[in-house]
Structure 1
């Protein structure tokens, strides 16, 4: 989503501490195998004061697996158990650590863990190339105190909507540049003039706000860029934790003779 495109770029703004989407742990819950957007084992390492399993120092194995392992958990009778730890997150022939050697048992009650976890369910709504930020149709949240489940909530994000204009950048590009009144645009010769427009989504299919993020000295071009973006008939709507989740995009509008020739009606 962040790659530069010559004519038009869409940049999703929300970021996390990771530059790459992370492979989650695994949670077995009521017969389902779910992704777990949390890593309860990290609290164990904090209390141990070193990141080792079986005296093996954990290191990142890929940009999607900075922690160097993938743990499998099972929630049974409101208690969280660690049942497996894989070396790395990807492998055709995975290796597993010896839990009995590390913990004294092959099924480990996670008494060290107090905190919240999230398990996504249903279809992926929007992938974000960072951390555990991706949005799914449903979210299960679990709160634990010393390994005991204290609260569990399911959120419905199914009212989220994906517009054709964010799904297909060609559609957005064509809409914007064919709706520009090129008769108002002076001859730019070999120059390119860019106006950066900020769009934010809300609870309606139209953008919640559209403003000029960075404009030109030529106010006519600024207003033309703003006018055209305001014509966009629909936009995305996102829900997270069952509530409207506001997102931001930056769209550069490029005035050039190349675009005039290609798109002017």
Structure 2
């Protein structure tokens, strides 16, 4: 299987890539399907085996809420207003630091542990630095 193109996340003034592929909502009035040839910002990756969905999204976290900022490919947003992502629930893993390794399956290793956000209907309900948690777990094992 070909590694899939990453989504983009804007968070705390930083732009990073994420392997978070939430589906778009069914029949949202702010999103339309378009023919790829009519799409804005056509990237040659869109429509290739590296992007089986035919589109990629740009997300932003603002005030503990997830927003869809833009779509590139076979869907477009009707205007430039961010869309609150109330259809999204699950874990979002946000890597930190430089990409150290990537294999053909899409597995990636970054120089710093990833930040994990728990999202429930578009709201960030819990976040953590996985490096800090793994350090606490190691310390707990030593103490026991």
Q: TM-score, normalised by structure 2?
A: 0.72
Aligned pairs for 1:110-121 (under 5 A) are 110-121=85-96
Aligned pairs for 1:75-94 (under 5 A) are 75-87=61-73
Q: Which has the larger radius of gyration?
A: 1
Equivalent of 2:34 in 47, 50, 56: 56
Query: In proportion to residue count, which structure has more strand?
Result: 2
Q: TM-score, normalised by structure 1?
A: 0.41
CA distance in 2, matches of 1:150, 1:61: 34
The Cα of 1:242 is off from its aligned counterpart by 4.6
Aligned residues: 122
Aligned pairs for 1:1-265 (under 5 A) are 19-40=1-22, 42=23, 44=25, 48=26, 53-56=31-34, 61-87=47-73, 97-100=76-79, 106-131=81-106, 133-137=107-111, 138-156=113-131, 242=134
Query: In proportion to residue count, which structure has more helix?
Result: 1
Larger RCO (CA under 8 A, 6+ residues apart)? 2
CA distance in 2, matches of 1:242, 1:122: 18
When residues 30 and 98 of structure 1 are mapped into structure 2, their CA distance, relative to the original with a 3 A threshold, is same
Provide structure 2 residue ranges, at least 5 long, that are not aligned to the other structure.
37-45, 136-144
- After superposition, the CA RMSD in angstroms is 2.7
Provide structure 1 residue ranges, at least 5 long, that are not aligned to the other structure.
1-18, 89-95, 158-240, 244-265
